[in-house]
Chains A and B, each alone.
Chain A
């Protein structure tokens, strides 16, 4: 017996849920209007999911590093949801609006930056800029009028031990430093750390901040080697890459990230007239 259009349509839906529906098949049946008794896509998805569930008899613990990573990302994203809700409320409270909004903008930026980096697939520019930093860290801390400073937090694949430290950057000096305490030493013959600078005012592509080595877990200060001019960074990401670094990171190993709180960003001092 020749299958009816409805039967074929139902099989297409099932094919979609089973992962084998082709676009040609879909186009052939998309004009079919399903009857009241036709299966709903959600019903089929639910049943397929339940079949998968039925195979689970023992639950294995989520690996610790992965647990921390999903929690960190989750808090950032959920904060951004809260941000939107609170932003609606603070519209009604003018005296606090500016401060709260700045804070909220930072939280939103944090979540957006995490997501942007997760889904970043674009290539880096070939432009190279390996000039050494012009100023020392102490000098930058003492004198940079537009200094930004951000603490490291755990990325998606954090080190086993707690790592602390921060990153500083000055747009006007085009210079900055990373400071780590407890960062695992790398084997420079095999793999190296690489810094990426998130600067949405310039481009959606992260800027290569240079490849670097850590020789011990004691405090280490590393100069940033940005390969492109940096305008207004919103975040920094450390990844683990093969020796020599990469032009495009696959983002599989991302031990640390840092986000810039705009409320703590020093404003450049206007020159006196």
Chain B
């Protein structure tokens, strides 16, 4: 299985994000206002993205179909929680997609004790960053920060968040104890957060050095 560990990001990847640039005004506020004409436009604009993301993180078309429907229902129900001034629709969608995926994992996981903090499922977009970034820029920054993590942390995060592998699968694939996988994942995510919150230029400079 390809862990992605030996595949550093190429510079070209930073320019290859046109597919994640969505034009037009946000549709969530229209949906929150009960405008049914915005539904088809929303599905047209983001349906492919949600499908692609979901397939990627479930690795199974059948599960992805169910999950896509759950994500859309969650989006319709939570449209009023979207605040355009706080972040992009695509971030909002991505967060909901991950929450639904985690909810599903919690229900089906052998770890019956996995805790759910989102019983009420209220979605809030984070407060804006000092210099609010476009999605593509944010992705570029996250990629850049990922590269600065240790190979183990980088590999674990990619395998869980990008390839949809379970912790157990990562443990087997990387020959690491399960506890180490959890530590690399958690600490890696916290390190990413610290890195992303630093000014963009400082991050680039560090990467350069």
Contacts and interface: CB of A to CB of B under 8 A. Distances in A.
B69 A58 contact: no
Contacts of A181: none
A44 B193 contact: yes
A14 B187 contact: yes
Nearest to A14: B186
Interface of A: 10-11, 14-26, 39-63, 66-67, 69-71, 73-75, 77-79, 81-86, 115, 118, 156, 252
B160 A18 contact: yes
Contacts of A62: 43, 47-48, 50-51, 68
A172 to B, nearest CB: 35
B115 A22 contact: yes
15 contacts: A17-B98, A18-B160, A19-B102, A19-B167, A39-B193, A45-B99, A47-B196, A49-B97, A53-B90, A53-B94, A57-B17, A67-B47, A74-B31, A78-B38, A252-B62
B56 A52 contact: yes
Interface string B177-195: 0000010011101101100
Contacts of A56: 19-20, 49, 52-53, 56
Given A40-B126, A63-B65, 8 more contacts: A20-B111, A20-B182, A43-B193, A51-B161, A59-B48, A66-B68, A70-B43, A118-B73
Interface in B1-59: 13, 16-17, 19-20, 31-36, 38-40, 42-43, 47-53, 55-57
A78 B35 contact: yes
Main secondary structure of the interface of B (DSSP, over half): helix
Contact of A60 (B40, B51, B87): B51
A15 B72 contact: no
B124 interface: yes
A54 B36 contact: no
B174 interface: no
Q: Which of B43, B160, B187 has the most CB of A within 10 A?
A: B43
B187 to A, nearest CB: 7
A194 B9 CA distance: 51
Contact of A70 (B72, B77, B102, B111): B72
B139 A50 contact: yes
Interface residues of B, number: 78
Nearest to B111: A22
Nearest to B38: A78
Given A47-B142, A82-B36, A74 B72 contact: yes
Contacts of A252: 62, 66
Nearest to A85: B34
A42 B126 contact: yes
A78 B39 contact: yes
A10 B143 CA distance: 22
Contact of A20 (B50, B51, B167): B167
Contact of A75 (B13, B36, B90, B185): B36
B192 A51 contact: yes
Contacts of A22: 111, 113-115
Give 10 closest A-B pairs by Cβ, nearest first.
A82-B34, A49-B94, A62-B47, A55-B162, A14-B186, A74-B39, A42-B126, A77-B76, A70-B72, A81-B34
Contact of A73 (B13, B72, B87): B72
Nearest to B56: A55
B98 A44 contact: no
Contact of A48 (B53, B76, B143, B189): B189
B142 A14 contact: no
B3 to A, nearest CB: 13
Contact of A67 (B43, B124, B135, B138): B43
